[in-house]
Each structure stands twice: as C-alpha cells, then as structure tokens.
C-alpha cells in the first residue's frame, strides 16, 4: 500500500500505525541531526526550509524506497510534527475549512460551506492528540490538565480554540478550532444570497444615521461576518472602539481602537472581562462602540452607553429571532451585580435598541438575513417589534438548495423621518407606513 493510501485509509489502522511509526522514527532522527540552538534563531519559514532539507538528506541516506510524492508527504508530516500541529497543519492551510472539530484521537470533523464532514485521518494515539493540544495552548501561555480541563483562547494567527479534556469530556480530549473569518463586504454577501440591494440600502442608511443595531443569530449563523461588514459603513473620521472576547473584527477605518478581553493566567489572576472593557471604553471618548458579543452583565453597561449619547453602536447576541433577542438582552442585563427591576430594564432596552438584524443558517448550510426588525416601543411598555423585511423560504427541493424570496414592509414613520434628517434615502421597496394604526394592523396579522 502506498504511503498516501496508508494516510487516507481509515479502515486500515495497521497501515496508519506503520505510517505513524515512520513519522516518529524520522522525527527522532531529525532531532538528532539538527542544532536546536541554531534552529531557534531562525525565522519560522526559514526553519521549516532547513528542516525539510536536512530530513531529505536523512531519507536519501538511509530511508525507505519511496516515490517522489510519497517522499514529499513523509517530509511534510515529519516537519509538521516537529514544528506545527501534525495532521491538523494541512487543515489550517485549507481556506475552504471554517471549523475543525477533533472528538478524541479517532475522529476529525471539518466544516466546509456550512456542511460538516468526517475526514479519513486520525491521531495515532491519545498522547499524540494531547501533545498537539499542549502545543496549541502553550502559544497563548495557557495550560490544560486535570486541574484546568477547559481552555478557551485565540491563536496568534487569529483562530479561536476551545479545549476540553477528560474527566469532563467522556469521549476523550476534544479540540475545536474556529477559523478566523474572512472579511466580506455587504456587496460580496449579496453575491452569496445573504441579502439583496434593497436591504443593503436600508442597512447602510441605518448605520450612517446612527441607529443602534443588534445582530442576532445562532452559533455559526454568520453574526461576526455581518457585524464586520456593517462596521464598514461607518464614515471615516469617527472614533470606533471594538470590544471582543477573541479579536476577529477587521475594520478598515483609520480611527479604530481594538480591545480584547483576557482570561486569568495559570495562577488564576489578571482576568479582564468584556464588562471591564465596556466600562473603560466610555472613558475613551468613543463615537461608536462595537461589542463582538454580549453574554453577561456587560449588557447593562452597553445598553446604558447606547441610550446616553453613543448612538450608532453595534453588538451581537445569541438568539433565534428578534423577540428572543430582546428577551435575551433583558436576561443578560439582569445578570449585572446592579439589581434593576425588569420594568426598568425594558425601559433601557426600548431606549437603546433601534434595530435587530436576525441571521439564520438554513438546511443547505447557507446563511442569510432572515429578518430585519425595528423596535418601535417606548418607555416601559411591552416590546413592539415591527418587521420590515423577512426571508420567506420555500421547502428545499431536489437540488438540495433552499430557495425563497425577501419580502418588504413599510418602515415606521419615525424611522423614515430619522433617515431623512440624516439625508439617507428610503429604499423604494419598503416605503413608509401611513400611520401607527397601519403598523398595528399589519403586526396583528
């Protein structure tokens, strides 16, 4: 069996053990021949080139008879083991992969184009998987062991990493790597079917007119991608502060300050939370505050900032629809150590939130805006949500693709007036509601 076949054949564990044995043998021989002190002084790219050259000489001198392709694959695997993340290294270089999920040493799943697939590769042992995990977390000065069995971190290259090991994980050490998302523009997202030109015109007007926008959606629905695209609509000259758990936003404006939370160190000290950063950002004279995701007591601080002069702010929240998004904001805000009555929290949300953009991930893996809703309630009254755009999906056909169409409804008059005052056009497909009664009648349907 060829080396390539042995690597890619999950049904042949013996072949894979043989290939892993070869990798281990030549990794040991490589370490015997190199000068570690000299290697440490080289840049990463030069270090890889030097190791590949040395290993090539070793294989030529005493290695097995291999084809040119098999030889290249063996060199790649050995150097990946020595320098990088072993079998994960090619996956991290594959731009089509958005998520890598390792469920113990025997299962490696990836997500491509919204679909999850099992790859025909595996780690040779639990020990090899743990070595890979330890190498990953050590790059961010973290450790993982029985006393600290969960780690959530960001790699220097931008990928978000989550690790959970036994005894908490009953399936073995589990590693999840979420790739740093490419920054899409809204025009590119139109090409992907995530929205259309009329919605782009509306969202552009809302952002430039300084509406406070909440991007809502489930995990993996594209919230960060849309948030990044919306932030590109903010005019130059404004001071923007971004606050994230793991820095993913890639703003192109000149005046941007990026803040990132920090976990506790190995001694359990030095933790800086999203809430700490939100509070500090208010002392930094921001024109706009962008919070990557609200998930706790910082929600109250963000809402207070939105309703006290920091218009045009953006944030994301995990929720399945616009109404759920408001209730989740209310629940998260109540998690603050400041005990605020629910009626006062409702007042705060009614004052702070102008628009909710709901994202959904459909059965075919596609991600699109499923709803744009305006919060049209005031004070402590019950939430009144006016849906101005909705994606009407049809049942998935034989082609395995979800088809449908965007439906538009009139904008509340106060929203249209605010857009006009900011010299922003009203998208023709939407129009303006004639009266509050018209809105109420439409929502009642």
pLDDT score at 181: 66
Q: How far is CA 347 from the centre of its chain?
A: 31
CA distance 263 to 89: 26
pLDDT score at 13: 41
Report the half-sphere exposure of 65 (CA within 13 A, side-chain side): 1
- Does domain 186-444 correspond to CATH entry 3.40.50.300? yes
* Shared fold status for 90-180 and 186-444: no
Contacts of 267 (CB under 8 A, 6+ apart): none
Strand order in the sheet with 404-408: 256-260, 240-244, 288-291, 314-318, 213-217, 355-361, 367-375, 385-393, 404-408
Question: From residue 77, how far is each of 219, 225, 336 by CA, in Å?
Answer: 33, 33, 49
Return averaged pLDDT per consecutive 10 residues of the chain, 445 residues in all.
36 50 72 64 70 78 76 76 73 87 94 88 85 82 84 79 92 89 86 94 96 93 92 92 86 90 77 90 92 90 87 94 95 87 91 96 90 93 94 88 93 94 94 68 58
pLDDT score at 440: 59
Global pTM reads 0.76
Rg of the chain on CA atoms, in Å: 26
**Nearest Cα to 249, choosing from 158, 329, 313?**
158
* Domain 90-180: assigned CATH number: 3.30.450.370
**Nearest Cα to 360, choosing from 224, 186, 217, 226?**
217
CA distance 161 to 201: 36
DSSP secondary structure letters along 66-118: --HHHHHHHHHHHHHHHHS-GGGHHHHH-TTEEEEEEESTT-EEEEETTEEEE
pLDDT score at 54: 77
- Helix (H) / strand (E) containing 195: none
CA distance 339 to 307: 19
Q: Which two tokens stand for residue 225?
A: 């991608």
Q: Domain-by-domain residue ranges, the chain?
A: 1-83, 90-180, 186-444
């Amino acid at each position: 069996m060829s080396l390539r076949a042995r690597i890619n054949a999950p049904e042949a564990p013996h072949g894979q053990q043989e290939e892993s044995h070869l990798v281990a043998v030549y990794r040991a021989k490589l370490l015997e021949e190199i000068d570690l002190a000299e290697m440490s002084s080289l840049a990463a790219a030069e270090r890889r080139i030097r190791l590949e050259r040395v290993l090539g000489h070793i294989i030529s001198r005493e290695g097995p008879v291999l084809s040119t392709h098999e030889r290249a694959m063996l060199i790649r695997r050995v150097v990946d083991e020595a320098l990088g993340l072993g079998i994960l290294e090619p996956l991290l270089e594959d731009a089509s992969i958005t998520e890598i999920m390792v469920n113990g040493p025997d299962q490696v799943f990836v997500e491509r184009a919204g679909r999850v697939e099992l790859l025909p590769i595996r780690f040779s042992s639990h020990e090899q998987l743990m070595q890979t995990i330890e190498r990953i977390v050590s790059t961010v000065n973290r450790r993982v062991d029985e006393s600290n069995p969960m780690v959530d971190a960001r790699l220097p290259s931008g990928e978000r990493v989550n690790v959970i090991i036994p005894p908490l994980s009953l399936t073995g050490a589990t590693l999840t790597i979420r790739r740093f998302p490419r920054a899409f523009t809204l025009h590119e997202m139109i090409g992907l079917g995530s929205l259309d030109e009329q919605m782009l015109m509306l969202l552009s007007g809302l952002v430039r007119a300084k509406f406070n926008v909440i991007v809502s959606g489930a995990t993996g629905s594209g919230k960060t991608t849309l948030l990044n695209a919306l932030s590109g609509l903010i005019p130059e000259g404004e001071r923007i502060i971004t606050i994230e758990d793991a820095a993913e936003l890639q703003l192109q404006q000149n005046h941007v300050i990026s803040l990132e939370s920090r976990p506790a160190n190995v001694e359990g000290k030095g933790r800086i939370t999203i809430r700490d950063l939100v509070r500090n950002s208010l002392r930094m004279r921001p024109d706009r505050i962008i919070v990557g995701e609200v998930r706790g007591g910082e929600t109250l601080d963000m809402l207070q900032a939105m309703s006290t002069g920091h218009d045009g702010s953006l944030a994301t929240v995990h929720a399945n629809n616009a109404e759920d998004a408001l209730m989740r904001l209310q629940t998260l805000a109540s998690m603050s150590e400041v005990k605020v009555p629910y009626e006062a929290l409702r007042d705060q949300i009614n004052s702070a939130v102008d628009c909710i953009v709901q994202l959904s991930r459909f059965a075919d893996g596609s991600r699109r805006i499923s709803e744009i809703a305006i919060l049209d309630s005031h004070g402590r009254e019950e939430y009144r949500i006016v849906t101005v755009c909705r994606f009407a999906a049809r049942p998935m056909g034989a082609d395995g693709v979800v088809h449908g169409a965007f439906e538009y409804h009139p904008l509340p008059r106060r929203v249209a007036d605010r857009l006009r005052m900011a010299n922003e056009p009203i998208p023709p497909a939407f129009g303006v509601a004639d009266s509050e009664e018209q809105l109420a009648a439409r929502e009642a349907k």
